[in-house]
Amino acid sequence: MNSQADLPSISGQRILVTGGAGFIGRNIARALVADNEVRILDDLSTGSRSTVPEGATLIEGDIRDDDALDRATADIDIIFHHAALISVEASIRDPERTHDINVTGTVKLLERARDEAARFVFASSAAVYGNPDTVPISEDAPLEPTSPYGLSKLAAERYVRLYADLYDLSAVALRYFNVYGPGQLDGDYSAVISVFVDQAAAGDPITVEGDGSQTRDFVHIDDVVQANLLAARAEQTGVFNVGTGESISILELAETVQDLSDSTPEITHTEARSGDIDRSCARIAKSESSLGFEPSVSIEDGLETILRSAE
Ligand code: NAD
């Protein structure tokens, strides 16, 4: 597993992490705060003040608010843009709000990055691919998002590319697969891990939806932090997958949690969820060769840390 010492080093920079009170952003901020001036812009809509790393400055505000942006981006060197409306279901209920936060919000940040000539690292998502024809999915696979959330991420990463092309902005987009790790709130991406771990910790049966044959590429938060630091230091523009390059079925995941937990919970099956993506797995050759990305946490080790922190 990555230790702070193994992470790509960045020092002496003024850094903004939007969404830095949330799951991924706070882990990026934590990795940087010792050697840099770190600001966090977060409206605390899902994030929490209590998890903001010590030493980072929290600017409580919306990424669409000009005054908050003035404070957050003055003299900034690097922007990690992670604030977003991240719920697929909420995006289907409210596409306009999703567009406003995820697309308009990103354009506002890109403008600030352009003013400051800052390096821009954007948190995109495998949701831009929709239901893939083939796996593993490479960056040039068809882009067919199936939700306003996925479409908003696609539009935002296209803006990132356009700013790089038109204005020579040093900007990159990372397409995360299913990120998991300790301290994650239940959400769309890796909720299944939190659910299984909570069930196992309580000694309850592990409930698998359908036959559990659907596959996912679960990437540990430490590896996502690594990808962000590499992307911030690199000069490349473009989009890069961030996954492990390996997938696991939901049934195998349940069995792994079962094996790792002391209580040996039974596995039961419930009705399949409609509209679920069957298979997902990142091809990471481009991230490996261009960024030097090297996922280091196996699903077994990652689950083990979560199980221990749930006990
Ligand atoms: P999270 O909900 O834990 O963090 C998002 C943060 O953004 C929260 O702290 C929230 O309060 C803040 N926020 C939301 N709207 C805001 C606004 N308008 N202004 C300011 N702050 C706002 O989510 P996360 O899992 O840490 O995701 C971070 C980023 O990574 C998101 O852009 C998400 O789309 C992307 N992503 C996550 C995953 C995953 O598996 N978790 C996968 C693909 C992409």
Q: Which helix (H) or strand (E) holds 17?
A: strand 14-18
Q: Is 167 a catalytic residue?
A: no
- The residue-averaged pLDDT of 135-160 equals 98
pLDDT at residue number 216? 96
Q: Which helix (H) or strand (E) holds 129?
A: none
Distance CA 270, CA 206 (A): 10
- The residue-averaged pLDDT of 155-165 equals 98
Tokens of 164: 């790089």
Q: Which residues line ligand 1 (CB under 6 A)?
A: 19, 21-25, 41-47, 62-63, 82-86, 101, 105, 123, 125, 176, 178-179, 185, 189-190
Residue 189 pLDDT > 90: no
Contacts of 42 (CB under 8 A, 6+ apart): 18, 19, 20, 21, 22, 25, 52, 58, 59, 60, 61, 83
What CATH code would you report for 12-180+218-243? 3.40.50.720
CA 119 from centre of chain = 18
Q: Which residue's C-alpha comes closest to atom 28 of ligand 1?
A: 82
Distance CA 107, CA 284 (A): 27
- The residue-averaged pLDDT of 270-290 equals 91
Given the CA of residue 105, which atom of ligand 1 is nearest to it?
A: 18
